[in-house]
Amino acid sequence: MTAPVETMYPTRRRTHAGWPAMLGRASDSTHDNAMESISVECPAKTNLTLSVGTRNDAWGGRHALDTIYCALGLYDTVSVTAKHPGSGFSLQIEGEHLGDLAGSNSDMLRNHAVLALLALSRACGRQPDAAIRIVKRIPVGAGLGGGSADAAGTLLALNSLWNLHWDMERLRELGADLGADVPFCLTGGYARGTGYGERIDTLDPHGERIARLYEEGFTQRMLVGAYHTQLSTPTVYSAFDRLGAGTTTDAGSNDLQRAAISLHPRSGTAIRTACEAGATRSFISGSGPSVIACVRDDRAEAAVRHAWIRSMAVDRIISACAPATPIMHAFPRVTQ
């Protein structure tokens, strides 16, 4: 086992009103018509709290959830480029840690971004003539919503590229069919998720609810302990159905924590190690196996990082700030 690789990601620009920031030329009708490519930097998510209820047959057997989402400044970049009519779609994925995404093209139709492209194409009556390029930085199969971020980034990019002008409520309705986390990933920030996670109520980052979480040890500064191992979300939920959430010590603020640790014990070691080193909170992110450690300052961050490296409790260490929102870049058509 090799020592963890340390990766740093800076804080990114945030915006308001639930929409991503658009960088570059101001949008007008002439610019929109000339637009050829949109790039979206879509952040990872974690769940500061996650309460899991019973299965609901009306939701395809998914569990009822009550969660506080938080978007992290750790980004995948999704770029969507217009193609000639009738030429179909293509997918290119790049990154150092692709996990099962490094498979053959036979898996392309299962990719979250491609599913988003096809879903929006059907919904708006357009042909899916687009090239998708994804630069992966969010760990795969890690409980950080990387696939959902890619789907959300694709929807946001196509909404601009195709001049659809769909509002966020309509995009979220479509996104909910793609995955429980997709509606949140469209806007990021902080939000409460209910239903099976798809019903989103945006939370004011300066409001009382978030202030209480800060008092409980959650911070805007976080370390992500990531792994080469992936955990399947359905597998974790199956383990939860057998084991339950357990005690408060077992679950912390995440009812899936006990199940995830039963499948990936190193995550439990990473949580204990982080807390002993000075993290104010440490917990499984979503369905795991990634671990979040909340730190208040440089000294605490250095101590947790050193403890994780020394104990080899994680494979990669990523520093991120929260909250974060998607950022869009527009690239106009180049005239030959």
> What is the CATH number for 310?
3.30.70.890
- Looking at the fold, whether 151 and 271 belong to one and the same domain comes out as no
Cα pseudo-dihedral 295, 300, 301, 303, rounded to 10: -140
Phi/psi of residue 299, each to 5°? Answer: -65, -45
- Looking at the fold, whether 196 and 57 belong to one and the same domain comes out as yes
Instruction: Look up the pTM and report it.
Output: 0.89
- Pick the catalytic residue: 45, 136, 150, 255? 45
| Catalytic residue list contains 181 | yes
- Pick the catalytic residue: 150, 181, 255, 315? 181
pLDDT at 15: 33
Answer yes or no: is 6 within a domain.
no
pLDDT at 2: 54
Which residues are within 8 A (CB) of 222 and not within 5 positions of it... i.e. 6 or more apart? Answer: 46, 72, 292, 293, 294, 295, 319, 320, 321, 322
pLDDT at 87: 94
Q: How far apart are CA 270 and CA 6, in angstroms?
A: 15
pLDDT at 37: 93
Q: What is the domain range of residue 220?
A: 211-321
pLDDT at 251: 66
Rounded (5°) CA angle 202-168-182: 70
pLDDT at 336: 37
Total domains, the chain:
2
Encoded tokens for 261 = 């640790």
- Residues in the chain with pLDDT < 70? 1-35, 100, 102-106, 250-251, 333-336
Answer yes or no: is 2 within a domain.
no
pLDDT at 4: 65
Q: What is the 3-state secondary structure (H, E, C) of 281-302?
A: EEEECCCCCCEEEECCCHHHHH
Q: How far apart are CA 51 and CA 67, in angstroms?
A: 6
| Catalytic residue list contains 315 | no
Q: How far apart are CA 186 and CA 120, in angstroms?
A: 14
The answer to whether the CB of 79 falls within 8 A of the CB of 37 is yes
- Looking at the fold, whether 37 and 134 belong to one and the same domain comes out as yes
pLDDT at 102: 63
- Looking at the fold, whether 243 and 274 belong to one and the same domain comes out as yes
Encoded tokens for 172 = 């979220």
Q: Which of 184, 209, 188, 178 is nearest to 197 (CA)?
A: 184
